Structure 1
Amino acid sequence: MNLKRIFGALLTVLGIGALIYTAVVFSNTSGSNADIKFLIIYGILGIIFFTSGISLVRTTKDES
C-alpha cells in the first residue's frame, strides 16, 4: 500500500471525526460565543481534512 493512500485515509478519518464532533457540539450547544467558535473551527477543519483526504486517495495511482 502506498504511503500517500495511508495518509489520505488518515486525513479522511480525522475529517469524519471532526464533523461528527461538530454535530455533537451543535446538538448540545446553548448558543454562547464559545460554542459558536468551536462549531466554526471544528467544522472548517473537518471539511478541509475530509476533502483533502478524499482527493489524495482518489488521485494516487496504485503502482505494483
Structure 2
Amino acid sequence: MNLKRTFGTILTVLGIVGLIWGAYTFLAGGGSVGNVSVNQFSSLVPFILGLIFFFTGISLIKGTKDTA
C-alpha cells in the first residue's frame, strides 16, 4: 500500500469524523457536546474542515496509482 493512499485514508476518516461532529453540534443547537462548549455557528468550522479533509483524502486515494 502506498504512503499517499494511507495518508488519504487517514484524511478521509478525519473528514468523516469532522463532518459528523459538525453536523451533530449544529443540529443540537450548540451548547455542551462532549465536554466542549460551542454555539451553533461556530460548529460550522469543524464541518467545513471535515469537508476539506474528506475531499482531499478522496482525491489522494483516487489520484494515486498502484505500482508494484
TM-score by length of 1: 0.86
Following TM superposition, the consecutive aligned residue runs of length 4 or more in structure 1 with deviations greater than 2 angstroms are: none
Equivalent of 1:60 in 56, 59, 64: 64
> Could you say which residue in structure 2 is the equivalent of 1:36?
41
Structure with greater strand percent: 2
Tell me how large the CA RMSD over aligned residues is: 1.8
Q: 1: CA distance between counterparts of 2:40 and 2:27?
A: 11
Structure 2: tracts of 5 or more residues without a match = 32-37
Which amino acid letter does the alignment assign opposite residue 2 of structure 1? N
Structure 1: tracts of 5 or more residues without a match = none
> Could you say which residue in structure 1 is the equivalent of 2:52?
48
Which amino acid letter does the alignment assign opposite residue 3 of structure 2? L
Q: Which has the higher relative contact order, 1 or 2, with Cα contacts under 8 A spaced 6 or more apart?
A: 1
1:15 aligns with 2:20: no
Which amino acid letter does the alignment assign opposite residue 28 of structure 2? N
Kindly state the Cα deviation for residue 43 of structure 1 after the two structures are TM-superposed. Answer: 1.2
Kindly state the Cα deviation for residue 30 of structure 1 after the two structures are TM-superposed. Answer: 5.0
Structure with greater helix percent: 1
